[in-house]
Amino acid sequence: MHDYGFGQGYGFGHGFGILLWILILVLVVVAAGFIIRGLGGNTAGKSSSRDKSALEILEERYARGEIDHDEFERRKRDLQDRNPGS
């Protein structure tokens, strides 16, 4: 006699049971990744833009070619005018 999905595959039929376990495994791995990232696991040698000063960010943009020399100098003066002690 056939069980029609109640004996094998944990009640989900022959093929669906394995797919369910694969889905559960993928969800566990994704959840673990989010937990690790949330605990600071993604800071391997990289500093966050929140840790950088405005001048450092400006220098990086200039180095990448996002802004030209005139724009860099203008923005640098603006930053120094706002923070005279820097």
Say yes or no to pLDDT of 56 above 70: yes
Q: Are 28 and 21 in contact (CB under 8 A)?
A: no
Higher pLDDT, residue 43 or 71: 71
Per-residue pLDDT tens for 57-74?
Answer: 999 999 999 999 999 999
Q: How confident is the model at residue 10 (pLDDT cuts 50, 70, 90)?
A: low
Cα distance between residue 61 and residue 43, in whole Å: 21
pLDDT tens across 24-37, in order? 999 999 999 989 88
- For residue 41, what pLDDT is reported? 53
Report if pTM > 0.75. no
Cα 7 to Cα 44: distance, rounded to the nearest angstrom = 48
